[in-house]
Structure 1
Amino acid sequence: MIQTQHMIQIDWNGPYKLPELNQLTNTETDYGVYQIYGKHPVYGSNVLLYIGKADRQTFGIRISQEGWLYQNDANNLKIYIGRLHGNQPSSGSAWSSEIDLAERLLLYVHKPAHNSKSIASLVNQQLQYVHVLNWGHHRDLLPEVSGFRWTGRLDEEGYEVYRWE
């Protein structure tokens, strides 16, 4: 059975500071995936702390609910927002599904410190054909991640090292 890749493209903008999030409430475009950078007691300053999604709420509303204002170095947090884009716009449940798939694959691959509950496992069946392309100001995220690479999909194929015959 041949499966096709499911391509998700994300256009990243930022950095934003927490007070600037109030402007990210456009109900037509301010949905997608976001990343937060800041200080971590083990990993240091200016590191990827969190990847989240704004699906049924805009970036401005969703990120303000996370409680980042109460972090000890909240003034130095940097937030990058990623909006889905491409030549085939999706809407409704398809858009929500793409936001969810992109967030889960990005979480699994990058393993931010404050997402410890979400990075433990990856559902191979749902993500093995997902391919995420990060454009714009994607910061420390890899420019391209593939479920084909990060799931156990290739482990099941019986691959061997090539031999000269």
Structure 2
Amino acid sequence: MSLEQKVMDQLKEAMKAKDEAALRTLRAIKSAILNEKTSEGFSGTIDEAGELKLLQKLAKQRKDSLDIFVQQHREDLAAKEREELAIIERFLPAQMTAEELRTAVEAIVAQTGAAGPGDMGKVMGVASKQLSGKADGKAISEMVKQILAAK
């Protein structure tokens, strides 16, 4: 089942339940899908990797906004962002824990033969492909820096 179909099914359920947070978020996801499908130079269908990338982008936007609202002590706006983020994360695969990420990055470092911080680009290229959707790019980058700095 495509992401668009899942969103539509949950949108119907949210309408029946009169769940404002879910409605707001699901409509935002639906809108992003429509924008992506109709963007210039696009074929009209989104593959699973494209759907995942789209959801990660939406989740990152919510996280960034949440950080700003928390810093500015705007709990009312932060609460909305938390609600939306929780709903978006239902569609994303489970994220790796810090320990799982460390283990995966250490294996990639060994696989690529990286010897120090100068090899970060080589490691990040492989890590980004292998861990796409399982971990945030920023978290992957930080872990690679830590591991390579220790070498």
TM-score (ref. length: structure 2): 0.34
Greater strand share, 1 or 2? 1
Based on CA coordinates, which of the two structures has the bigger radius of gyration?
A: 2
Structure with the bigger RCO (C-alpha within 8 Å, sep 6+) is 1
